[in-house]
Every structure is written in C-alpha cells, then in structure tokens.
Structure 1
Amino acid sequence: MIELKGDSLTFDEFSRIVYRRDPVFLHPLAVKKVQESRRWVEGHLLKGNKVYGVNTGFGKLSETSISAMELDALQLNLIRSHACGIGEIFSEEVSRAMLLLRANALAKGYSGVCVETLQRLIDCLNKGVHPLVPSQGSLGASGDLAPLSHLALVLVGEGKAQYKGEILSGKQALEKAGLKPITLKAKEGLALINGTQAMTGLGVIAYLEAEYLADIADRVASLTIEGLRGVIDAFYPEPHSVRPFPEQQKVAARIYSFLSDSQLVTKQGEERVQDAYSIRCIPQVHGAVRQVLGYVRDTLLIEMNAATDNPLIFTESDQVISSGNFHGQPIAFAMDFLGIAVSELANISERRTERLVNPQLSEGLPAFLSNKPGLESGLMIAQYAAASLVSENKSLAHPASVDSIPSSANQEDHVSMGTTAASHAASIIRNSRVVLAIEAICAAQAVDFRGVNQLGTHSKQFHQHIREVVPILTTDRVLSTDIENMAEAIKQRRFILKEGFDE
C-alpha cells in the first residue's frame, strides 16, 4: 500500500502504482486537510461570499454570479462543456498517471473538494477503472482542461472507461467495479480539471523511458565500439577530469568499465590515432543528455507534488487566492528539452550505425554486414529506417513551448502548449528506441564477424541478451520484425543492467 499525502510522491511510487498497480490510500493527515478545505468552501457559501469557480462563471465569464440553487449544475456543466478532447486515446498508463497525479494534488488540501470525490479517484486507480482520455485538445493553461474533463466525466458516471479490457460507459464501468457515480458539489468540477496532470503524467512516463534509454545507449555504444575496433583511450579518466561535467565523467567511466577486458578495442596509434566523433565523443553527448534528464527529473518531481488548480484555498490564513499554478510553462520547457536531448541520443546512434554498415568506414567489416555482399543486402536498409526516424525527430523536436494562442475571449491570453511538448517528447522517445534497437542489431552482427569470444565480459552478456531476441543474420530476411522485437524488448526492460548510472 502506498500513502498519498500530496507532497511526497516519488518516481518509484509512481511506477509501482501506474505499472504494477500497487494499491493506494489517503494518509490520515491528507484526509484532515481536505476536510478543512471543504469546510472553508461551505462556510463561505453560507456567508454569500463571491468566490471564483464556486459561485461564478469561468474564464471570461468569471464576473457572472451563479445562484445557490445552480451551484451543483454549474460544476457538471463545466465538466461536460470542457470535454472537447480529440484524437487518439491516451494509453492506459497515462490514464492511470492522470488519476494518480490529480488525486495527489487534491490530497494537499488546497482545492476545496469533498473527501468522497478524492476517494473516487483513488477507487478508480485501485479497481482498474481507466477513463478513456483523448490525447489532443489541451493548451496547457488553464492546465489540461479538456483531457481532465474526460477523466472527470467517468467519476460522475458519464464518458467512457476501460475496465478489465472492456470499453464501457463511465456508469457501467463504475458499476462493474462496485462503485457509484459521485455528485459534484460547489468548486469540485473546477478542482478536478484545473491542473497539469495530463502533461505531467505523460511527461513522467516519457522521462522514465528516456532514463532507461540512456542506460541502453551506453551499452549499445560500447558494443559498437568493439564492432569497430574503437580506440579506448578516449574513455580514460584524464581528459574528462579537465572538463568536469559529472555526467560526462560517469558515462566515460561506465563505458570504460564495459570495455576494460575486451580484446576487440584498440589503443591510440595501434590501428588509428583517433576515432570519428560519433565514437570518440560518446561521453560528451550521452553525458549532456544525462544533464538534461537531471533537469527534467527535478522539474517533474516538483510538479508531481504541487497544487496546480485555481483558486487555491488557504484555510490557515482564511484566504482564497486566484493565481496561475495551472500554467504548464515549467513542464513545457522540460518536455521540449527532453525531446531535444533524446533526439540527439538517436542522432549519434544513427551515425554509429552508418559506420557499422558502410564498408568505407567499418574497419574491414563486410559491406552492410552481409554474408554475401552484392547477392544479399544485409543490414543496408536498417540504416535507412534509422535515418528516417532521426529526420522525423528533428521536426518533432521543434519546441512547442515557444507557441501560444489566446483563448476564453482573451482572458487566457498566454498558454504553454505543455501537453503538445510532452506528446512530442513521447514520440521522439518511441522513435529513438527503434533507432537504438537498429544500432544494437548492427553492433551484434558486427561482433559476430569479429569474434564473440573476444568481447569484454559485460558486452558478451549484452550480446547474448540481444541474440535471445534477434538471431544472427545468416541470409537476407525481413528485418521489420527483428527491429520491432528489439525495440519492444528495450521498452519492456528485458535487458538487465547490473550497473546503474550512479554506481
């Protein structure tokens, strides 16, 4: 069981809940804070005080007062009218991430919801009721209004959800899970949809995948170095000690440890003085990617545990404050930066693949790693596929965060496009996973020609794992399945990495 308190959710807990479905419950302190916040809302309603989103309209309509008899209808109308999402449905993991992160934000006790409403979000998580949320339609301020509205619809028995593999109406899904729809009270509809949980949920999933991809990239690059009989001197600690980026130093040390007992690597001057940049500069490029991952990690960790709706209720000082915590700019920047970094991980990988298959660059390997060059094309077109994906990444890496478009009659006149940035980053990660899968296939084929028995201990183990997924290429065959299988094996983390980056 994992406790939600609103301020201490970790990446490990996120993974356990989203992927492994560990159960969740509210910490008693969170329950107390939520109850206090709700009492504040109800007290001010009794006094007739005007509070945005509680007894007023929304956005440009914030000066319109709503009668006491229509407050519940106001919240339901909000959810229905804002459910304008379009496009493909987010994955089940993203839906779970949104449920989790919205519950964690409300558990902070600044949103004025009923405990029962918050509990229903947690019930959906624990019982596997996953709202179907369209992936397009968010401007990233006032948060993820459209995606979160589709999430909230299921809580009131509307919209659609997936339950045990079956797509049902929200009402049917709740009933099959033994749950009842909730009735939204004053402020609750706004509290459910005013936040950054779509971009943040998608962003955390993308970050976790990118982190593993960076680990795999070091492994794959090491195998390529052996396939090309690379010069190991570039990974000695001395050059990295005088440009002391910690991430660069760690990547160099990690790759050096993988290659330290290899009989395939060479030393400076034995066969050549130095390698091309895509080999020699791996620590500098992979290390810089790690720097970006650190920035993204820190940004997401704050946002995972933040109150991002509006207005926020501060019971201790008896204040309700309209502010802009729903604005997704921090996540938009982080996701754009993540996409740029991972696209570079793919760019340098594709260049290494080219060196493996190009007979003018491969240090004596057969052309295109074919057993019968000319009669057979070997892995020639695998490099084409990688080149296509890195080119696509360059378009996707154009920053979404530099764009903005006014909405709500110019009341909301600057937005973040953070969910677009997160979606682009996720697409870049998917593409880059395939690019690295292609390099891994080519590197494994190269060392088969060189002699697997000469590999270093770590690379020998990694090569064996690759061969469990993709058999050696002895004659031309359809490679699409091999590439897909390798990419899926990376996604499923089937390669056990005994050495973590920080070890």
Structure 2
Amino acid sequence: MAERDLSDVDAREVVIGGRRLSIEDVVAVARHGAAVRLSDDAAWRARIERGAAFLRRHLAAGATVYGVNTGYGDACVVDVPMALVEALPLQLTRYHGCGLGEYLDDAAALAVIAARLNSLAYGMSGVRLVLLERLADLVNHRVLPRIPAEGSVGASGDLTPLSYVAAALAGERDVQFRGAACTAREAWRALGREPLVLAPKEGLALMNGTAVMTGLACLAFARAAQLARLAARLTALATVALDGRAAHFDALIFEAKPHAGQGEAAAWIRADLAGRPDTPGHRLQDRYSIRCAPHVIGVLGDALAWMRRDIENELNSANDNPLIDPDGERVLHGGNFYGGHIAFAMDGLKTAVANLADLMDRQMALLVDDKFSNGLPRNLTGVRGERAAINHGFKAVQISSSAWTAEALKHTLPASVFSRSTEAHNQDKVSMGTIAARDCLRVLQLTEQVAAAHALACVQAARLRVRMTQTTVLPAPLASLMAEVAATSPFVDEDRALEAELRAMTARIAAGDFIGRHAGDGQ
C-alpha cells in the first residue's frame, strides 16, 4: 500500500526549501502539530532573493509583466500606471474576498498554507524571503485564515480561497488565533509584528496556484490509506464472525493475478486470520463481499501509488503565473495554475473510497441478516430469552450505514468533467480540482461513518459467534481490534442509542487514532 509511516517525519519540524515535501510532511504539519522551518541553505535563500530582485529590475526597465503592471485575467490588456503598481496586489486580495460555504477546519487550513509555502519556496515566483517567513509564521503561531471552502474553479488556481491567506498576511479579514476568532491585524499585533505590505506580484503569487486542492488532497490521501487498512482488518473479523473461509485469501490466488495492492490487501487479511482452521464452514465459497474484498481494497491500494506521484509532484511544483526564472532572468507566462492532475486524482480517489463504503455496508448486511449470517442472532441482538422479541440490535445501524453508503456513491460523479467557461471566457477551460477534493473529503467522511458502524457490528458479531461456539479462538490482531472497539462501545445487550459511540468511533478513524493495529503486525 502507498502509505508511509509518519515516524520518519520529525513530529516537531518540517524543513521547507531546497527539498521535496512528502504527503506525510503536510499531514505532520496539519494533523500532528509539526512546525515548519525555512531552510538555512545559503544557495536556496539566494535564489529566492535573486528572483525578487530580477523582477524589480525588469519592471524598472519598463517591461510589461502580467498581473504586476497589467490588470488580471481578461483585463490583462489593461495597463496599470506605475504609480498604482504597488497598490495592485492588495486590490486582488480584496475583490476575491467573496468565498462562501463552510470554513476549512484547522487541519485543512494548515495543509493549504504548507502547500502554498512549499510552492513559493520552489524559487520561481519572484517573491521575497520575508513573504515565506510570514507564511511560516501563520503555521508556527497557528494564525489560521478563515477560508471559505466554496468559490474555486481550480484554474486560475484557487484564487478566491487563497485570497484569505494573502489577506491574513496583509492584516485583513478574520483568523483563528489562540482558540478564538479575531482580525488578522489583531493577531499580528499580539505577535509583535506589523502586517506585511505585499510587493508587486506577491498577491498574485500567493493566490494563483493549486494549494487548496493540493493541501486537501494530501489529507484525503492519508485518510484513504488508513481506511484501506481498516477495511482489510474488518474483513478478517467479518470472516470469523460469519464462520467463513480463510482459504479465499491464499497467497497463490493473488500470485495468479498479480495486482500489487490486491495482493497486499489479501496478505493483511491472511495475517489477521493466521491460525484460524481452514475448514469449509457453512458454504464452500463465501459471498463476494468477503471473498472478493482484496480485489476491492486492492484497487484503492494500487491507485494510491500513482496518486502519490501526482499529488507530490503538484505539491513540489511552481504553480503560479507568470513564473520568474531567477537564473535565466526570464518571465514565463503559462498555465501551471491548472489543477487537472489533482482533479483527476481526487475524482478517482473518491470512487475507490466509496467502493470501500459499499464493501463494508454489504458485509454488514450479511452480519445482521439471519438468512445469511450462518446462525448469528437476527440483527445481532445480544439479548436472549423473552426480551429478544422487543430488541432489534443493529437493525437501524445497518439502515443508516446504507444511507451513508448511498450518499458516498452519489458523490462519485466526477467533478473534473464539469468545466465551466468563466471570467469573460479567459478561464474557458478549468479543472474543478478543488470541488473534486472537497467531494473526496465528503466521501471519506461518509465512508468513515460506515467503517465505524461496521466496526461495532463486526465486534458484536464476533462476540456472539464466540458465545455460540464456545470454541472460537480469535487471532491476536483481531482480539486487539475487539478490545479497541470495546473501549468505545461495549457489547450491545439491551437496545440503546448508539449515536455517541458511533460519533466517537468515527472521530477516531478520521484522526488515524484507530486503525485496528496490533503490535508487531507492522501496520
């Protein structure tokens, strides 16, 4: 699987400048409290300043540079008088202050800032080192712009949402700081700093790029990788609960069809079932949602490999316009702000993740239905005797799981094919990458809810199977998983409202705190 262990990322500090960042670096900053530090490398620092100095000289020589002494977008034919060039960057941030929708949460805001900082640190944006230092301050002092999620078409980059980052540097709009909302100017004052006066092109450099979709993509990737591992472990537990066959995961089967992700998912399940007797149970072949689980999970596993390539290439690119070549002293007008690779990756990821939701929901349907559960009580009710007639166990949980699954599947409609011509037909072909990333995060949220429900149901079912047979011995990884779930949700005997337990389990899965790991299984 394409997930890397975060233990190789310094939890305290991520260095920016002169090196490639990984998805795990961004996740460390966004979710694990890591600070950022600009590289001390003298050559890198000199390159940054050289680009800004060349741009100043180029303008002083009377050159025309898009977005520096011209209007923006379709207004590129409008010349801006030199007396107004210094005022232009702030104007750009202000008229783009029109985002709507929910605000990005703290982790998403941090991922966005880290992605933008790393892109500008590539050294082809013509910005000053002080701008990079102030972006680092946003991260390290947790001065987090309140970024509305909606309003980007993903080319010319994430203009409107990134305007909130640029505005925060300039001391405008609201931020989250020290646990409360305040104005950006108030936050800078509390830190003993003045707001940054944006130099020519710096407003454009901050806004004209793919940092929002890329930051969100990094978070989505990490959550998807965790879900793949969890889905495999829950498949193993469901196999035990259904008295199914471990033989479906024999290594030779997956050598005969050598998709790497599929083989790895099967290996996970096989390891989790190690020691379980391989005797035909109630059926010679288990139903597809069990038998073919590696084939479903493996699609996501293999997709994550190329998605990592594309997300990390975007993360480590100069993706604004124009680019400033500090060595050849050229201004390059192009379209690196176009988010097509992220759009395609996120459209693909949300489809692969939604398939996990569907897989887990189908497994859960087998567990609760006494026609297919191989002897488990109807709806996994834990009550015996007379009161069993009025108890319904996991009946409503399975209905809700199907609702969440259906909504996840509905969101898989690809955003990237819905390009809209906009901005006087200057932006006449756009990526919709940020919408794709937001859709993907919603699909992940719904699938994590399905996984939480399935975890509770699998554990309930396994306990019932042990109670029925009195002989079932659970492999150590599955026993560990059951103990983890029990800490959040005890055995369901008499019916009770499970909302709080489902919310707690969902939160643990989303945060990566729960993945059903077992010490020594290497995952």
Does structure 1 retain, via aligned residues, the 8 Å contact 2:69–2:81?
yes
* Matching residue of 2:505: 486
Task: Determine which of 240, 255, 266 is the counterpart of 1:241.
Answer: 255
Task: Determine which of 175, 185, 188 is the counterpart of 1:174.
Answer: 188
Does structure 2 retain, via aligned residues, the 8 Å contact 1:195–1:309?
yes
The answer to whether residue 299 in structure 2 is matched with residue 280 in structure 1 is no
Task: Determine which of 325, 344, 355 is the counterpart of 1:333.
Answer: 344
Kindly tell me: are residues 414 and 7 of structure 1, through their superposed partners in 2, closer, same or farther at Cα, counting changes over 3 Å? Answer: farther
The answer to whether residue 112 in structure 2 is matched with residue 98 in structure 1 is yes
AA aligned to 1:24 is V
Residues 278-300 of structure 1 show CA distances to partners (whole Å, capped at 9, x for unaligned) of: 00001111111111222222111
Instruction: Give 1:447 deviation, angstroms.
Output: 1.0
Does structure 2 retain, via aligned residues, the 8 Å contact 1:215–1:501?
no
The answer to whether residue 30 in structure 2 is matched with residue 18 in structure 1 is yes
Instruction: Give 1:501 deviation, angstroms.
Output: 9.3
Residues 242-282 of structure 1 show CA distances to partners (whole Å, capped at 9, x for unaligned) of: 1111111111111111101135xx534x4321010000001
2-structure distance, mates of 1:59, 1:348:
46
AA aligned to 2:352 is A
Does structure 2 retain, via aligned residues, the 8 Å contact 1:33–1:108?
no
Instruction: Give 1:16 deviation, angstroms.
Output: 2.2
* Matching residue of 1:461: 480
AA aligned to 2:371 is Q
Instruction: Give 1:500 deviation, angstroms.
Output: 9.4
Instruction: Give 1:412 deviation, angstroms.
Output: 1.0
Instruction: Give 1:23 deviation, angstroms.
Output: 2.4
AA aligned to 1:288 is V
Task: Determine which of 247, 252, 260 is the counterpart of 2:274.
Answer: 260
Does structure 1 retain, via aligned residues, the 8 Å contact 2:144–2:177?
yes
1-structure distance, mates of 2:430, 2:339:
8
* Matching residue of 1:159: 173
1-structure distance, mates of 2:53, 2:78:
24
CA RMSD, aligned part only?
1.6
Does structure 1 retain, via aligned residues, the 8 Å contact 2:47–2:326?
no
Kindly tell me: are residues 499 and 404 of structure 1, through their superposed partners in 2, closer, same or farther at Cα, counting changes over 3 Å? Answer: farther
2-structure distance, mates of 1:40, 1:166:
41
Task: Determine which of 74, 78, 86 is the counterpart of 1:64.
Answer: 78
Q: How does 1:250-399 map to 2 (within 5 A)?
A: 250-262=264-276, 266-268=278-280, 270-370=281-381, 371-372=383-384, 373-399=388-414
* Matching residue of 2:5: none
AA aligned to 2:273 is L
Does structure 1 retain, via aligned residues, the 8 Å contact 2:285–2:291?
yes
* Matching residue of 1:445: 460
* Matching residue of 1:421: 436
Q: How does 1:119-138 map to 2 (within 5 A)?
A: 119-138=133-152
Name the % identity: 34
Q: Please give the TM-score of this superposition, normalised by the length of structure 1.
A: 0.97
Q: Please give the TM-score of this superposition, normalised by the length of structure 2.
A: 0.93
The answer to whether residue 415 in structure 2 is matched with residue 400 in structure 1 is yes
SS of equivalent residue, structure 2 residue 77 = coil
Task: Determine which of 422, 426, 438 is the counterpart of 1:411.
Answer: 426
* Matching residue of 1:183: 197
SS of equivalent residue, structure 1 residue 326 = coil
2-structure distance, mates of 1:2, 1:436:
32
* Matching residue of 1:217: 231
The runs of 5 or more residues in structure 2 that have no matched partner are 1-12
Instruction: Give 1:11 deviation, angstroms.
Output: 2.5
SS of equivalent residue, structure 2 residue 189 = helix
Instruction: Give 1:499 deviation, angstroms.
Output: 7.4
SS of equivalent residue, structure 2 residue 26 = helix
SS of equivalent residue, structure 2 residue 194 = coil
2-structure distance, mates of 1:333, 1:236:
34
AA aligned to 2:517 is L
2-structure distance, mates of 1:387, 1:120:
46
Instruction: Give 1:105 deviation, angstroms.
Output: 0.8
Instruction: Give 1:406 deviation, angstroms.
Output: 1.1
Does structure 2 retain, via aligned residues, the 8 Å contact 1:250–1:501?
no
* The 10-residue stretch of structure 1 (14-23 or 293-302) with the greater mean CA deviation from structure 2: 14-23
Residues 43-91 of structure 1 show CA distances to partners (whole Å, capped at 9, x for unaligned) of: 1111011111111111111011111110111111011011221111000
Kindly tell me: are residues 475 and 169 of structure 1, through their superposed partners in 2, closer, same or farther at Cα, counting changes over 3 Å? Answer: same
State the aligned residue count. 500
2-structure distance, mates of 1:396, 1:250:
27
AA aligned to 1:340 is T
1-structure distance, mates of 2:272, 2:117:
43
Does structure 1 retain, via aligned residues, the 8 Å contact 2:23–2:308?
no
Kindly tell me: are residues 331 and 97 of structure 1, through their superposed partners in 2, closer, same or farther at Cα, counting changes over 3 Å? Answer: same
Q: How does 1:8-47 map to 2 (within 5 A)?
A: 8-27=20-39, 28=41, 29-47=43-61
Residues 300-351 of structure 1 show CA distances to partners (whole Å, capped at 9, x for unaligned) of: 1111111100000112222111111100110000001010000000001000
Q: Following TM superposition, where does structure 1 have runs of at least 4 consecutive aligned residues deviating by more than 4 angstroms?
A: 498-503
Residues 372-428 of structure 1 show CA distances to partners (whole Å, capped at 9, x for unaligned) of: 543111110100001001110121110000111111210110011111100000000
1-structure distance, mates of 2:107, 2:35:
15
Instruction: Give 1:498 deviation, angstroms.
Output: 4.4
Does structure 1 retain, via aligned residues, the 8 Å contact 2:282–2:374?
no
Instruction: Give 1:150 deviation, angstroms.
Output: 1.0
Does structure 2 retain, via aligned residues, the 8 Å contact 1:79–1:189?
yes
